[in-house]
């Protein structure tokens, strides 16, 4: 799979505490539509991309969002939209954004930062954003779009991971997909990092409890057809849970394109450094390093070598209750 990441601009209706885009000193609120279309075509024609992620800022705030999305679909791409879901709270926006794309290969990924509205709103810096995001997700699901709800694990929410799974199932039903993911501290100030950073060994037990709940829901209700853990190392949980961890195929990102300067031009690169990878010396000696998602480079720099542990070959064969769900081919 060759994939492309495309930022449509840095305008956003949220002001998330840990967003790296929020700390950019030079922002292009909306990149030129022609430049964005050109970047997409270059990715397809010269780099054979098959998947694209539209992001920002908030991509739905770009005035040509529907045109750009439709162009991607017309050219045969599978499209993921990273949105905060706020604009979807208006059903008319949903109809406008996705007109003619009801059965297209388009999926929406939205973060809910806490099951407590006041905590979510504190993270986003936008009062009422929790209710608007939840309403927006329900609207796009009603329209027939595929939805993934993700939670970026932080000091503020890691203890509520099991309850978060329960919340998503109760609110959105079994059709929704879910992802728990590690945090990238890129661009954050030291005082910001101190407030949100939590080490992997501390979050491991809560990830396990959340996954136990997922297993029980799948067995009883066939819920969560897709559930994954991303950007978290395998060594923080029992091998029983490894099948849920999303292996990042390093080097799959063929093109990264983002607006630069003040005039909406778009810069593209085909040599993007994968900032989520295997950086620890302990990891290089680990028997499952080929299958591990690794960690964000910024997490490696923050936590140091003690954040992970080396897994010996005999350890990976023994999981919870002496049975492992894990397979290197999962």
pLDDT (tens digit per residue) in 185-231: 877 778 888 889 999 999 999 999 999 999 999 988 888 888 999 98
How confident is residue 255, by pLDDT bands cut at 50, 70 and 90?
confident
How confident is residue 285, by pLDDT bands cut at 50, 70 and 90?
confident
Lowest mean pLDDT among 4-8, 19-23, 82-86, 321-325: 321-325
Q: Is residue 328 part of a domain?
A: no
- Residue with the bigger pLDDT between 287 and 319: it is 287
Residue 208 to residue 212: CA distance in whole angstroms: 6
How confident is residue 19, by pLDDT bands cut at 50, 70 and 90?
confident
Q: What is the pLDDT of residue 231?
A: 87
- Please check the confidence at residue 270 and state whether its pLDDT lies above 70: no
- Residue with the bigger pLDDT between 259 and 193: it is 193
Q: What is the mean pLDDT of residues 300-322?
A: 73
Residue 261 contacts residue 26 (beta carbons within 8 Å): yes
Q: What is the pLDDT of residue 300?
A: 83
Q: Which burial class, exposed, middle or buried, applies to 142 when counting CB atoms under 10 A from its CB (0-12, 13-18, 19+)?
A: exposed
Q: Is residue 329 part of a domain?
A: no
Q: Is residue 302 part of a domain?
A: yes
Lowest mean pLDDT among 10-24, 224-238, 283-297: 10-24
Q: Tens digit of pLDDT for each residue in 98-149?
A: 999 988 999 999 999 999 999 999 999 999 999 999 999 999 999 999 999 9
Three-state secondary-structure class, residue 234: helix
- According to the per-residue pLDDT averaged within each range, which of 213-222, 261-270, 321-330 is highest? 213-222
Residues in the chain, overall count: 330
- Please check the confidence at residue 320 and state whether its pLDDT lies above 80: no
User: In 109-189, where does DSSP find H-type helix?
Assistant: 117-124, 129-143, 161-172
pTM for this model (two decimals): 0.89
Residue with tokens 């709103």: 121
Residue 294 to residue 299: CA distance in whole angstroms: 10
Counting the structural domains of the chain, the total is 1
Lowest mean pLDDT among 55-64, 161-170, 220-229, 262-271: 262-271
Q: Which two tokens stand for residue 69?
A: 């999305």
How confident is residue 28, by pLDDT bands cut at 50, 70 and 90?
low
Q: Which residues of 186-218 are buried (b: 16+ CB within 10 A; e: fewer)?
A: eebeeebeeebbbbbeebbebbbebbebbeebe
Q: Is residue 174 part of a domain?
A: yes
Residue 6 contacts residue 49 (beta carbons within 8 Å): no
Q: What is the pLDDT of residue 275?
A: 67
How confident is residue 321, by pLDDT bands cut at 50, 70 and 90?
low
Q: Domain holding 300: CATH number?
A: 3.20.20.70
Phi-psi region of 57 (alpha: psi -120 to 50; beta: other; left: phi over 0): left
Q: Which two tokens stand for residue 131?
A: 């209710």
Q: Is residue 330 part of a domain?
A: no
- Residue with the bigger pLDDT between 241 and 283: it is 241
Q: What is the pLDDT of residue 316?
A: 58
Q: Is residue 298 part of a domain?
A: yes
Q: Is residue 139 part of a domain?
A: yes
Q: What is the mean pLDDT of residues 165-180?
A: 94
Question: Which of 107, 242, 129 is CA-nearest to residue 178?
Answer: 107
Question: Which of 26, 82, 87 is CA-nearest to residue 56?
Answer: 82
- Please check the confidence at residue 326 and state whether its pLDDT lies above 50: no
Three-state secondary-structure class, residue 271: coil
Cis preceding-peptide flag for 57 (omega within 30 of 0): yes
How confident is residue 271, by pLDDT bands cut at 50, 70 and 90?
very low
- Structural domain harbouring 261: 3-322
């Amino acid at each position: 799979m060759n994939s492309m990441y495309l930022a449509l601009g840095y305008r956003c209706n949220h002001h998330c505490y840990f967003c790296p885009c929020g700390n950019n000193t030079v922002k292009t609120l909306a990149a030129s539509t022609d430049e964005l279309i050109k970047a997409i075509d270059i990715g397809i024609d010269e780099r054979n991309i098959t998947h694209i992620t539209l992001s920002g800022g908030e991509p739905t705030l770009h005035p040509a969002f529907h045109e750009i999305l439709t162009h991607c679909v017309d050219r045969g791409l599978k499209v993921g939209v990273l949105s905060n879901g706020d604009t979807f709270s208006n059903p008319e926006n949903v109809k406008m954004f996705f007109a003619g794309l009801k059965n297209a290969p388009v999926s929406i990924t939205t973060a809910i930062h806490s099951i407590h509205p006041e905590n979510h709103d504190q993270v986003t810096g936008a009062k009422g954003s929790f209710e608007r995001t939840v309403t927006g997700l329900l609207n796009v699901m009603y329209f027939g779009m595929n939805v993934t709800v993700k939670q970026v694990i932080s000091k503020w929410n890691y203890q509520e991971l099991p309850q978060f799974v329960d919340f998503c199932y109760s609110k959105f039903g079994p059709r929704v997909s879910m992802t728990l993911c590690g945090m990238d501290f890129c661009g954050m100030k030291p005082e910001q990092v101190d407030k949100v950073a939590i080490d992997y060994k501390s979050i491991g037990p809560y990830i396990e409890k959340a996954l136990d709940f997922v297993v029980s829901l799948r067995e009883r209700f066939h819920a969560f057809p897709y559930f994954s853990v991303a950007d978290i190392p395998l060594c923080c949980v029992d091998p029983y849970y490894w099948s849920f961890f999303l292996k990042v195929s390093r080097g799959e990102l063929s093109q990264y394109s983002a607006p630069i300067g003040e005039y909406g031009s778009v810069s593209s690169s085909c040599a993007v450094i994968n900032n989520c990878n295997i950086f620890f010396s302990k990891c290089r000696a680990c028997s499952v390093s080929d299958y591990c998602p690794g960690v964000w480079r910024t997490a490696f720099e923050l936590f140091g070598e003690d954040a992970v542990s080396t897994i010996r070959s005999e350890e990976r064969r023994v999981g919870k209750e002496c049975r492992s769900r894990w397979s290197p081919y999962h």
